[in-house]
Structure 1
């Protein structure tokens, strides 16, 4: 990697590590819960960045689980004391209610542990869900919420005045610079959301003569087959609870393989473009870590613009576009 990519990433990683060092509870052992056992490469990149940051801080994860392999009994056996960390991301709120439900469950079940919510974006739309979250958060005696942008930070401080709420950049850049998997096959790769966070059809103008490919995250063909095989241990543990303890080591190794497979597949997709246009936060982060010029558009909650203001602007080659016209202009300049 060139110094142009390495130096800003290293600086951002050092800044984030210093913040974490001051915020995290003492002790070398932790549990990390809500592993993203799905095919969203962005959440996998966050996981890899989290693990890298924890290693640099000298912390050892004694128990790792997603919401369906999690067992309070196995957690207490493998991690009898020490803090519980919850996966970072963009699901502190009611847009992804299952994630919020699991977060609140962990707070109820472990009032005796320090719990740290790793960096999140916050977006509640339903006042009833916000009130329920507030009650759960305030009921826990030792909760730290880390927010990854100023907008979310202020929302959390307003909503949860009795809870420790602090700023920390997203942990995905902690994974470090990433290599391309091959040469570009198209001038423009349009990687645009098709899920509940999309804001509509981003009709970015492609310059005359330029080739373009539109896609989104997801597995196809052999990648899907491998994904299904990697998930087998956790699938067994989910459906046969008595095996969760005996299979825990195998499940954790499969989680590591799942995260690596997701990010490797995403790198292969992003490598197909000379320039990337995306409304996925971590597609923008990963492309920047790969040294690919990337133009980022906002999602429905505004988390990309908020992240750009907070820390994304430090990544080289990443441009935020406030709309389709601005993105089209930036794309023409990039090509």
Structure 2
């Protein structure tokens, strides 16, 4: 990118930020009636995060039918929008935080959650399931001060390590150990597509544990054994297109998963998408505890569908086993029945 192109790109980003900040003020002024203000809403085209958005909105609408949902993201959560919200918020309104991996160093939404805790101590703040892994001590101390200083925060932790970290750092919060909300879709859909081959669903960022060359070597081992395809859950779309087509895009991706006999993934939502389509999944390790801890949620009844591979040789063994086995492509709605149908009573 040359200098002029770089400057144009920077100006475009600033204009986009300005328009988003202006738009949120206008929309806030129109708010009336009982409202849930949902912070941390995703604006990037990662289908795992967008699936969380889909499931969160669905859960809120089902459990709070008299409420409208108003969403904020890291761009629209700033001083003027907070001041206007302070004036608009009513006594019956609710504050929620979107689920994700926000509780780690330098995540833009972690700042937002601290600010909401600081600015709205008189409102209950429910933070949907988070992976908690803050390493930077300065950021950790800021977060500890904000969350423990709020008298009524409920923080859901989406794995045991996050839960233990939260018990140590946030003793003043009400803590719940709770699975990712996208698991609520498992067992709710039936797919009858013909199944063939292996789908690799792999990330390409700092969280990946294996190099591209190592993955390619694993993929090549299936030559002559099974067809393979590779993809990621991140797609190239604008926030406008994503918001407009979220449900269709999610359904299309799930349908793609349902055409394969086995999935190999290092994405947590790649794992969950596989199970929504009742497709056996080989889970690779990542650079943190999100996957190794996340797979512990799955009960024994899922044993023929979830395999955690501690190395790539084991991943190959698991995959060849699944390819040669008969699989029943149907799982029970374990997570909705045992967790999300009961969450409201726990808040």
What range is the shorter-chain TM-score in? 0.7 to 0.9
TM-score, normalised via structure 2 length: 0.71
Q: Map Cα deviations across residues 26-59 of structure 1 (whole Å, 9 max, x no partner).
A: xx85321111111111111122222233334345
Which of 267, 281, 290 is 2:254 aligned to? 267
Larger Rg over CA atoms: 2
Is it true that 1:86 corresponds to 2:97 in the alignment? yes
Is it true that 1:109 corresponds to 2:119 in the alignment? yes
With over 3 angstroms needed to count, the CA separation of the structure-2 counterparts of 1:313 and 1:114, relative to structure 1, is farther
Which of 162, 171, 182 is 1:172 aligned to? 182
With over 3 angstroms needed to count, the CA separation of the structure-2 counterparts of 1:120 and 1:83, relative to structure 1, is same
How many residue pairs get aligned? The number is 277
**Partner-residue secondary structure (3-state), 2:113:** helix
Is it true that 1:68 corresponds to 2:75 in the alignment? yes
With over 3 angstroms needed to count, the CA separation of the structure-2 counterparts of 1:66 and 1:258, relative to structure 1, is farther
Contact kept in structure 2, 1:296 and 1:321, CA below 8 Å: yes
Match of 1:323 in 2: 311
With over 3 angstroms needed to count, the CA separation of the structure-2 counterparts of 1:179 and 1:219, relative to structure 1, is farther
Which of 222, 228, 232 is 1:216 aligned to? 232
Match of 2:58 in 1: 52
Match of 2:241 in 1: 230
Match of 1:332 in 2: 320
**Partner-residue secondary structure (3-state), 1:273:** coil
TM-score, normalised via structure 1 length: 0.73
Which of 147, 159, 163 is 1:137 aligned to? 147
Match of 1:235 in 2: none
**Partner-residue secondary structure (3-state), 2:295:** helix
Contact kept in structure 1, 2:199 and 2:260, CA below 8 Å: yes
Q: Map Cα deviations across residues 270-306 of structure 1 (whole Å, 9 max, x no partner).
A: 2453211101001110111112221112221121121
1:106 and 1:262 mapped to 2: Cα distance? 31
Q: Give structure 1 stretches of 5+ with no counterpart.
A: 1-27, 232-254
With over 3 angstroms needed to count, the CA separation of the structure-2 counterparts of 1:230 and 1:173, relative to structure 1, is same
**Partner-residue secondary structure (3-state), 2:254:** helix
Q: How far is 1:265 from its partner?
A: 4.4
Match of 2:171 in 1: 161
Q: Map Cα deviations across residues 174-201 of structure 1 (whole Å, 9 max, x no partner).
A: 23534559655x5111111101211123
Please give the root-mean-square deviation of Cα atoms over the aligned residues, in Å. 2.7
Q: How far is 1:219 from its partner?
A: 2.9
Match of 1:243 in 2: none
Q: Give structure 2 stretches of 5+ with no counterpart.
A: 1-33, 324-347
2:283 and 2:113 mapped to 1: Cα distance? 29
1:15-34 matches, within 5 Å, as 29-34=35-40
2:99 and 2:110 mapped to 1: Cα distance? 12
Contact kept in structure 2, 1:37 and 1:66, CA below 8 Å: yes
Contact kept in structure 2, 1:120 and 1:148, CA below 8 Å: yes
2:255 and 2:99 mapped to 1: Cα distance? 24
Greater CA deviation, 282-291 or 43-52? Answer: 43-52
2:145 and 2:301 mapped to 1: Cα distance? 36
2:162 and 2:123 mapped to 1: Cα distance? 25
